[in-house]
């Protein structure tokens, strides 16, 4: 029996049992790697998540469009002067998730708001141009976002995130 | 044997549970205190090995089902994307596909062990019958699993096996329609086979619980075939049997890993790398090796109904074994005649397996009939007769006496070696393909950089091969399973990410629809796949004189040729897997200007030494100097053939280098573990002797 020898006097037999058990345990743990790793996105899914380019030219002022990147809806809004002013008037410190509008757009491109259109509460898609703040309203649990996509009221904890993007020309952005 | 447990947990939480659900006591009495005969040899570890294999198949199968699509248009492709794109998908698929074969290797050893030692005799009849039921369920599960990849063998295996039921008088055709869910094997068939293939392993697991239950009521049989009488005859299951089983399982994993990492396609058929085509039956269809003996019995009988009855009868007769063999002595060790007939029966089964892989013609048919008679005669004539006329040798008084009698002889190690040898021989007898070589010369074996356990692709050859493909083959042949991004994958042609993107942008890829609803062309991206030269099969045929140029992604795995006896046995040890590359490269160099005298070449065909039937629609594609190499390699047909074949071997198995590398690590580990388990087992058993 494995417990036959006393713990005070480790023997060669104890060493053998411990070594065998340890090697078996290492093998068992290593075996788990492929079985868990297979759940991660596969190579084709990762390749399909490459950056996309979006042409902004057709979007008129006050209009917004929805594009998909990595399966997520990205809202691109061409904001009016009024919307930009609304977003900048608000004292930043009074916001639930304080962030200035300038930090959420690219410098010199104040009219373009690009956000991931997924409510930070539980993942529903907010509706544009609705709610008290002329921004986004989430129909699931009533979260309201302003014209900068910042959370103003409701259960959502944070602002709509800004995806990584850059302007490749005056009227074209690359998301990702 | 296992009485009420005297297990008393000391931990208060465990006590609380045990009073309400005595599951720990059940485990303790079944797998710890359970008395096991002390004279069991290594043949008895196959029970544990089978439990492990069932677990491996269920776990890998559940995972594969997460990535597989049971639809006729997508099944084949989804299996390829598992192997190519899913993390470790190639490993999981190899484990599951070769695991099925390993499961059958183990079950056949287990069954022959039961047959030799009379493990079906009183009081173990139900235990045995449950085993026969498990075996039947395994066959059904294995068959339906083989259908899922939806290759040519899958499709035609499904067609042939379901058609067996059409032999039933009056209702046969209705039953076949019911099985198909249509007028032929099609999408409904695939869907239901997938569903049942997922269900049946859990049914097997349930029957295994009954099997183990029955085993623990009757107690294990043992090589002496005498029941344990006193404490001295048994040892507790843990640690004695547990450690011995662990060692046996570890040895078996070494055997298993050989196939997973080094011979994953040895037990399969090259034709199953061709997508299912309901219009063309492969020239020689054979079932998986584990069905071959029964397939031989089916074919040896010239009447449809009688053949089907004989085939199922060959399995069902096993269930009646306890009443066919009524000899009182259990173990063949003490039955001089039964022992000889047992080994003759083993040989008959192996030969039937070999015949099952041969074309049903000439001498093979006659041999098949003789062996079918021998198979049934063993159960229906020999065993009942032996029970009456054989004079058995005296059996030992007790298991303890049996152990003492053979102390000094080191039987266990020897028998485990024999176990592996017999398992190997079983393969050898039945595994190889049945493709007949109708006037087809085997292409010469070449030296490939990727052959053998340490094989790696030659990057230079792959890059040149890609050039040959692009400039020559791509005008007719697609490469639709390869994306441009793959060119930058580790183990691939060694492109950088930027190089693969630049290569992709040279191609025009159809995309859309755009906002106006129109399809448009754009430069290729790394995520795009190589565009096919023809929009559909009809266009491809129309442009090629009626012949369809096959997609080349899998061509080096989808083509093969028979190696013949004894080479295929040698291949098992030398890891020879390069029939496909030899064939592709041979074919490219096998064109002859003039066919040999007496051979009439059909209009629009060329003569090729290595093409089956010799008349090939593809004109000689390569000539010296046709493709310019920038690295100074000779611009000859031989070099082009070698390079493009190397490239196509990579497209057929992009993760081959990862497979062989991980294989080496696994082998080092398993050898270490097996060694440690051997010494641990020896130390523990030192107390028992």
51-80 in chain A: CB under 8 A from chain B = 58
Average pLDDT over residues B603-622: 92
Listed by start position, the domains of chain A span 1-40, 47-175
- Chain A closest-CA separation from residue B510 CA (Å): 16
Grade residue B128 by pLDDT with cuts at 50, 70 and 90: very high
Contact between chains at A30 and B669 (C-beta distance less than 8 A): yes
What is the rounded average pLDDT for all residues in chain B? 92
Q: What share of chain A is helix, strand, coil (3-state, %, to 5)?
A: 25, 25, 50
What are the tens digits of pLDDT across the range B474-509? 999 999 999 999 999 999 999 999 999 999 999 999
Residues 216-275 of B with CB under 8 A from A: 239, 246
Residue B404 reports pLDDT greater than 90: no
Q: Does the CA dihedral B458-B463-B464-B466 come out positive or negative?
A: positive
B594 assigned to some structural domain? no
B117 vs B687, which has greater pLDDT? B117
Comparing B107-121, B585-599, B663-677, the range with the smallest average pLDDT is B585-599
Kindly report the number of other CB atoms within 10 A of residue B322's CB atom. Answer: 20
Q: What burial class does residue B103 get, using C-beta atoms within 10 Å of its C-beta: 0-12 exposed, 13-18 middle, 19+ buried?
A: buried
Residues B108 and B146 in one domain: yes
Contacts of B89 in chain A (CB under 8 A): 38, 42
B254-264 tens-digit pLDDT: 999 999 999 99
Inter-chain CB proximity B88 and A37 less than 8 Å: yes
Q: Are B484 and B525 in contact (CB under 8 A)?
A: yes
- Confidence tier at B379 by pLDDT (50, 70, 90): very high
- Judged by CB atoms closer than 8 Å, whether chains meet at A16 and B85 is answered as no
Task: Tell which of A26, A39, A44 to mutate to test the B interface (max B CBs under 10 Å).
Answer: A44
Q: Do B669 and A16 touch (CB under 8 A)?
A: no
- The strand pair at B520-523 and B591-592 is best described as unpaired
Q: What is the pLDDT of residue A9?
A: 67
User: What is the CATH topology of the domain spanning A47-175?
Assistant: Rieske Iron-sulfur Protein (2.102.10)
CB < 8 Å from B in window 7-26 of A: 13, 16-17, 19-20, 23-24
DSSP-derived 3-state class of residue B83:
helix
One domain for residues B51 and B29:
no
The distance from CA A92 to its chain's CA centroid, rounded to whole angstroms, is 22
Q: Is residue B231 part of a domain?
A: no
Q: Is A40 on the interface with B (CB under 8 A)?
A: yes
Shared-domain flag, residues B131 and B56: yes
Give the whole-angstrom CA distance, residue B463 versus residue B627. Answer: 13
Please report which confidence band the pLDDT of residue B421 belongs to, taking 50, 70 and 90 as the band edges. low
Rounded to the nearest angstrom, the gap between the alpha carbon of residue A95 and the centroid of all alpha carbons in its chain is 20
Contact A50 B527 (CB under 8 A): yes
Are residues B372 and B295 part of one domain? yes
Residue B415 has pLDDT above 60, yes or no: no
CATH assignment of the domain containing B654:
1.10.760.10
Note whether B680 contacts A44, CB cutoff 8 Å: no
Residue B618: count other Cβ atoms within 10 Å of its Cβ.
20
- Quickly state the pLDDT bin for A36 (edges 50, 70, 90): very high
Question: Do B48 and B174 have their domain in common?
Answer: yes
Mean local confidence (pLDDT), B575-589: 95
The span from the CA of B586 to the CA of B591, in Å, is 9
- Nearest residue of A to residue B238, measured between CA atoms: A1
Residues in A closer than 8 angstroms to B668, CB to CB, are none
Q: Over the stretch B390-403, which tens digit does the pLDDT of each residue have?
A: 999 999 999 998 88
Please check the confidence at residue B284 and state whether its pLDDT lies above 90.
no
> Is the pLDDT confidence value at A169 over 60?
yes
Question: Shortest CB distance from A34 goes to which of B85, B91, B246?
Answer: B91
Identify whether B66 is part of a domain. Answer: yes
Higher pLDDT, B190 or B439: B190
Q: Does A48 touch chain B (CB under 8 A)?
A: yes
What confidence score (pLDDT) does residue A14 get?
A: 86
ipTM: 0.88
pLDDT of residue B311: 96
Structural domain that includes position B1: 1-33
Residue A9 annotated as catalytic: no
B448 vs B9, residue with greater confidence:
B448
Residue B401 lies in a domain: no
pLDDT at A2: 44
Mean pLDDT of B651-672: 97
Q: Which residues of A touch B673 (CB under 8 A)?
A: 20, 23-24, 27
Q: For residue B236, give the chain A residue with the closest CA.
A: A1
Measure the CA–CA gap between B140 and B146, rounded to whole angstroms.
10
The number of angstroms, rounded, from the C-alpha of B268 to the middle of its chain's C-alpha atoms is 6
Residues of chain B with C-beta less than 8 angstroms from the C-beta of A44? 81, 85, 483, 527
Q: For residue B423, what pLDDT is reported? A: 58
Supply the mean pLDDT for chain A.
91
pLDDT band at B359 (very low <50, low <70, confident <90, very high): confident
Residue B361's pLDDT band, with cuts at 50, 70 and 90, is: confident
pLDDT over 70 percentage in chain B: 94
User: Are B626 and B514 found together in one domain?
Assistant: yes
On the 0-12 / 13-18 / 19+ scale of CB atoms within 10 A, B227 is middle
Distance CA B326, CA B339 (A): 15
Contact (CB, 8 A) for B444 and B587? no
CA pair distance B387, B337, nearest whole angstrom: 10
Q: What is the pLDDT of residue B2?
A: 45
pLDDT at B436 over 60: no
Structure confidence by residue, pLDDT tens digits, A152-164 = 999 999 999 999 9
CB atoms within 10 A of CB B627: 19
Interacting residues of B315 by C-beta distance below 8 A, sequence separation 6+: B132, B135, B136, B139, B294
Q: Is residue B316 a part of any domain in this protein?
A: yes
d(CA B658, CA B470): 26
Q: Which residue of A has its CA nearest to B84?
A: A43
Interchain CB distance below 8 Å, A35 and B63: yes
Whole-number pLDDT of residue B567: 87
Polymer length in residues for chain A: 176
Is the confidence at residue B689, as pLDDT, over 90? no
Taking only the tens place, the pLDDT of each residue in B211-260 is: 999 999 999 999 999 999 998 999 999 999 999 999 999 999 999 999 99
B384/B380 Cα distance (integer angstroms): 7
- Give which of B39, B57, B43, B201 is closest to B110, Cα–Cα: B43
Q: Out of B85, B239, B485, whose CB is closest to A42?
A: B85
User: Residue B178 belongs to what H/E stretch?
Assistant: helix B172-180
Q: Which of B467, B466, B506, B472 is nearest to B618 (CA)?
A: B472
User: Per the domain annotation, does B47 fall within a domain?
Assistant: yes
Select from A2, A3, A34 the residue whose CB has the most chain B CBs within 10 Å, as the one to mutate to test that interface: A34
CA count, 13 A, side-chain hemisphere, A90: 25
Asked if B563 and B571 count as a contact pair (C-beta separation under 8 A), the reply is yes
Q: Looking at the partner chain, which of A19, A27, A38 has a beta carbon nearest the beta carbon of B86?
A: A38
Please list the alpha-helical segments (H only) found in B559-655.
Answer: 567-574, 579-589, 637-652
Within 439-498 of B, beta carbons closer than 8 Å to A belong to 483, 485, 489
Q: Map residue B330 onto helix, strand or coil.
A: coil
Q: What residues contact residue A144 under an 8 Å CB cut-off, 6+ apart?
A: A131, A132, A133, A135, A136, A137, A138, A151, A152, A153, A154
Beta bridge partners of B234: B37
State the total domains in chain B. Answer: 3
pLDDT of residue A6: 47
How far is Cα B132 from Cα B124, in angstroms, rounded to an integer?
13
Query: From the CA of A134, how many Å to the nearest CA of chain B?
Result: 27
Evaluate whether residue B89 is within a structural domain: yes
Query: A-B interface: how many C-beta pairs under 8 angstroms?
Result: 75
Following DSSP, what letter does each residue of A19-38 receive, concatenated?
HHHHHHHHHHHHHHHHHHHT
B61 touches chain A (CB under 8 A): no
Nearest to B87 among A2, A4, A42 (CB): A42
Domain CATH code at residue B47: 1.20.810.10
pLDDT of residue B642: 97
Between helix B637-652 and helix B579-589 the angle, nearest 10°, is 150
Residue of B nearest to A44 (CA): B85
- B388 and B311 in one domain? yes
Average pLDDT, integer, range B195-200: 98
Edge-first strand listing for the sheet containing B606-608: B591-592, B606-608, B615-616
Closest CA to B276 of B70, B578, B435, B433: B70
């Amino acid at each position: 029996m494995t417990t036959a020898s006393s713990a005070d006097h480790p023997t060669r037999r104890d060493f053998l049992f411990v070594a065998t058990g340890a090697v078996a345990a290492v093998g068992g743990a290593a075996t788990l790697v492929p079985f868990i790793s297979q759940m991660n996105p596969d190579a084709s899914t990762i390749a399909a998540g490459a950056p996309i380019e979006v042409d902004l030219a057709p979007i008129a002022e006050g209009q917004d469009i929805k594009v998909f990147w990595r399966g997520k809806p990205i809202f691109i809004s061409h904001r009016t002067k009024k919307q930009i002013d609304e977003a900048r008037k608000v004292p930043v410190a009074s916001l639930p998730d304080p962030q200035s509008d300038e930090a959420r757009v690219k410098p010199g491109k104040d009219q373009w708001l690009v956000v991931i259109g997924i409510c930070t509460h539980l993942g529903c898609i907010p509706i544009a141009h609705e709610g008290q703040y002329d921004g986004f309203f989430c129909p699931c649990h009533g979260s309201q976002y302003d014209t900068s996509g910042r959370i103003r009221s409701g259960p959502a904890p944070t602002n709509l995130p800004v995806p990584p993007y850059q302007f490749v020309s005056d009227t074209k952005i690359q998301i990702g | 044997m296992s009485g009420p447990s005297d297990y008393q947990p000391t931990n208060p939480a465990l006590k609380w549970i045990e009073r309400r659900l005595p599951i720990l006591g059940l485990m303790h009495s079944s797998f710890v205190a359970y008395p096991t005969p002390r004279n069991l040899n290594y043949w008895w570890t196959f029970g544990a090995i089978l439990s492990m294999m069932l677990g491996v198949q269920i776990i890998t199968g559940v995972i594969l089902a997460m990535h597989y699509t049971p639809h006729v248009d997508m099944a084949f492709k989804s299996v390829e994307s598992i192997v190519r794109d899913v993390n470790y998908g190639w490993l999981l698929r190899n484990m599951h596909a070769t695991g099925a074969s390993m499961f059958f290797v183990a079950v056949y050893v287990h069954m022959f062990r039961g047959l030799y030692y009379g493990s079906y005799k009183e009081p173990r009849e139900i235990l045995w019958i449950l085993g026969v039921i498990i075996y039947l369920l395994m066959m059904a599960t294995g068959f339906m699993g083989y259908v899922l990849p939806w290759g040519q063998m899958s499709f035609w295996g499904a067609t042939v096996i379901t058609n067996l039921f059409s032999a039933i008088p009056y209702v046969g055709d209705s039953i076949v329609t019911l099985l198909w869910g249509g007028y032929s094997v099609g999408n409904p068939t695939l869907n239901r086979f997938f569903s049942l293939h997922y269900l049946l392993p859990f049914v097997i697991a349930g029957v295994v619980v009954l099997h183990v239950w029955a085993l623990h009521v009757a107690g294990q049989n043992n090589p002496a075939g005498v029941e344990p009488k006193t404490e001295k005859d048994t040892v507790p299951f843990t640690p004695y049997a547990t450690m011995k089983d662990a060692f046996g399982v570890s040895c078996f994993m070494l055997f298993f890993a050989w196939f997973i990492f080094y011979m994953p396609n040895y037990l399969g058929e090259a034709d199953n790398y061709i997508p299912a085509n309901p219009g063309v039956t492969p020239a020689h269809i054979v079932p998986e090796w584990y069905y071959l003996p029964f397939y031989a019995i089916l074919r040896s009988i010239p009447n449809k109904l009688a053949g089907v009855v004989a085939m199922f009868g060959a399995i069902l007769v096993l269930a009646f074994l306890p009443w066919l063999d009524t000899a009182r002595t259990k173990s063949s060790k003490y039955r001089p005649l039964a022992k000889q007939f047992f080994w003759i029966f083993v040989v008959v089964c192996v030969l039937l397996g070999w015949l099952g892989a041969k074309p049903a013609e000439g001498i093979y048919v006659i041999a098949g009939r003789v062996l079918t008679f021998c198979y049934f005669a063993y159960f229906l004539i020999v065993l009942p007769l032996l029970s009456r006329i054989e004079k058995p040798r005296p059996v030992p008084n007790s298991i303890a006496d049996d152990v003492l009698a053979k102390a000094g002889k080191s039987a266990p190690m020897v028998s485990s070696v024999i176990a592996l040898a017999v398992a190997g021989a079983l393969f050898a007898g039945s595994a190889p393909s049945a493709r007949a070589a109708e006037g087809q010369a085997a292409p010469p074996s070449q030296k490939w950089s990727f052959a053998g356990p340490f094989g790696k692709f030659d990057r230079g050859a792959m890059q040149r091969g890609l050039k040959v493909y692009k400039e020559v083959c791509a005008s007719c042949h697609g490469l639709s399973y390869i994306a441009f991004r793959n060119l930058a994958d580790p183990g691939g042609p060694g492109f950088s990410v930027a190089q693969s993107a630049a290569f992709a942008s040279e191609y025009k890829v159809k995309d859309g629809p755009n906002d106006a609803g129109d399809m448009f062309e754009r430069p290729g991206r790394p995520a795009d796949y190589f565009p096919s030269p023809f929009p559909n099969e009809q266009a491809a045929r129309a442009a090629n004189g009626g012949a369809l140029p096959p997609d080349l992604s899998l061509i080096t795995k989808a083509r093969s040729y028979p190696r013949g006896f004894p080479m295929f046995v040698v291949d098992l040890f030398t890891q020879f897997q390069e029939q496909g590359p030899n064939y592709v490269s041979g074919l490219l160099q096998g064109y002859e200007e003039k066919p040999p005298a007496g051979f009439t070449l059909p209009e629009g065909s060329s003569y090729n030494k290595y093409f089956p039937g010799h008349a090939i629609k593809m004109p000689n594609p390569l000539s010296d100097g046709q493709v310019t190499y920038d690295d100074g390699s000779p611009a000859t047909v031989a070099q082009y053939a070698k390079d493009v074949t190397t490239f196509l071997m990579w497209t057929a198995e992009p993760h081959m280098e990862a497979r062989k590398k991980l294989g080496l690590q696994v082998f080092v580990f398993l050898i270490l573990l097996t060694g440690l388990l051997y010494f641990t087992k020896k130390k523990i058993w030192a107390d028992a002797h």
